[in-house]
Amino acid sequence: MKPRTDGAKARAARRAPPDVAARPAGARDAGTALPDIDGSRLLASLETLGRIGALDGGGVCRLALTDEDKAGRDWVVERMRELGLRITIDGIGNVIGVYPGDEDVAPVMTGSHIDTVRTGGLYDGNYGVLAGLEVLRVLREAGVRGRKPIAVAFFTNEEGARFAPDMMGSLVFQGGLGLDEALATRGIDGSTVGENLERIGYRGSAPVGAAAVDSYVELHIEQGPVLDLEGISIGAVESVQGISWTEFTVLGVSNHAGTTPMRLRRDAGLVAARIACFARELANGIGGDQVATVGAVNLFPNLVNVIPNRAVFTVDLRNTDGETLQRAEQRLRRFADEAAAAEGVSLSRRALARFDPVRFDPDLVALVERSATALGLRTRRMPSGAGHDAQMLARICPAAMIFVPSVDGLSHNVREHTAPGDLVAGARVLLRVLAQLAECPPFSGNR
Ligand code: GLV
Ligand code: MN
Ligand code: MN
């Protein structure tokens, strides 16, 4: 493994994080007289949710709509009930809990997701949801209400690891994908979203996307190395890069590994391997923000002495620049066709997800930045490399994101970690941002 000393140095140099546990519950943010986040309670809630679907040796597996996802959902819904939130569950299983405001207007919304990849960590998604609930908890305890309601949502199947596309719940919520089409989507195990929603009891009755949203701010771990390397506590996220997921199927001919001369082979596995290598070369050649990943590969019959007759694999291409992403897609397509023709196999492809790059609302990005600075936290503007529900909400309301550092930039990995002080600092920024957007005292009437 490569040494990771830069991040460690930067972390040590970062302004000492606030002493999480030392702040008594009920403490106030000195700058605003807002109630303060209870850091210990937030961290404990992350640990507790992380025990649902916990993997031996660390990390979590709560793939969307599995029994583990249901158990995680039940636990979070119970927390929403304790807070007295008005809870709705819509037809795609998005859960929204609303803390009332003085007026019955569209809520300011925060949230994220609680499904994970197969090798997930404790924080991806869960942090944004539980920090949102912690914000509501301290507001409620202090008897603070804004003019506008504040909603905390967790959206169904953000990861897309079991059912493509990713961000499915927020995409349906926003109207970019029809409910029926989403419900009919088959996952990697052949069952549908609809069947699984019914099975776990989360096919809700609330109409999808009926509720207007005032604004949306999502708190999330960065999942990349930038903040950690630079020793910065808060990222004010300006954009999300474009995402292109394609599933390729190559059909060749199975034959005996010992008897078939090389020149007579029609090897589906070889073509898959060629395309995988090309994807890396393509990204290296384009440079900049271009990334390419072959993350799922299945060979059939997958035996030591049989030439594969079928290869099914995925390519994930991403870039912050939409035109460059399109060019990368075209070049990959051309190479794949040529590689298949050269081996005498057939090739087909299926788009699993395709989202253009998204720019967040400049005023909200500035608000995130100002709020972090007011708390004495170092901040920088940055794009998001990962997909997020916020990019779907950005289609219907002003949206932005707050990032906190990921140690060594690790995520979608059981070793995903963020320092407790950074987790609490991010929640404090979220509190300030939501309080301003919802016009809670002392921000009433000004932002
Ligand atoms: C979602 O986590 C993605 O960016 O793949
Ligand atoms: Mn996430
Ligand atoms: Mn993720």
**What is the Å distance from ligand 2's center to 70 Cα?**
18
Nearest to 271 by CA among 257, 250, 301, 297: 250
Please state the atom number of ligand 1 nearest to the C-alpha of residue 161: 5
Whether residue 387 has its Cβ less than 6 Å from ligand 1: yes
**What is the Å distance from ligand 3's center to 89 Cα?**
22
Render pLDDT for 246-279 as a digit per residue (tens, 0 to 9): 999 999 999 999 999 999 999 999 999 999 999 9
Whether residue 166 has its Cβ less than 6 Å from ligand 1: yes
Pocket test for ligand 1, best of 112, 157, 166 (most atoms within 8 A of CB): 166
Tell me the pLDDT band of 16, cut-offs 50, 70 and 90. Answer: very low
**411 has pLDDT over 70:** yes
**426 has pLDDT over 70:** yes
Pocket test for ligand 1, best of 123, 358, 392, 412 (most atoms within 8 A of CB): 412
Tell me the pLDDT band of 21, cut-offs 50, 70 and 90. Answer: very low
The token pair at 239 is: 């954009």
- Between 16-20, 59-63, 68-72, 138-142, the lowest mean confidence (pLDDT) is in 16-20
With a pLDDT cut of 90, the percent of the chain lying above it is 90
Tell me the pLDDT band of 22, cut-offs 50, 70 and 90. Answer: very low
Give this prediction's pTM.
Answer: 0.94
**What is the Å distance from ligand 2's center to 349 Cα?**
26
Tell me the pLDDT band of 34, cut-offs 50, 70 and 90. Answer: confident
Whether residue 159 has its Cβ less than 6 Å from ligand 1: yes
**447 has pLDDT over 60:** no
Mean pLDDT of the chain: 94
Please state the atom number of ligand 1 nearest to the C-alpha of residue 316: 5
**What is the Å distance from ligand 2's center to 254 Cα?**
40
**193 has pLDDT over 90:** yes
pLDDT of residue 2: 43
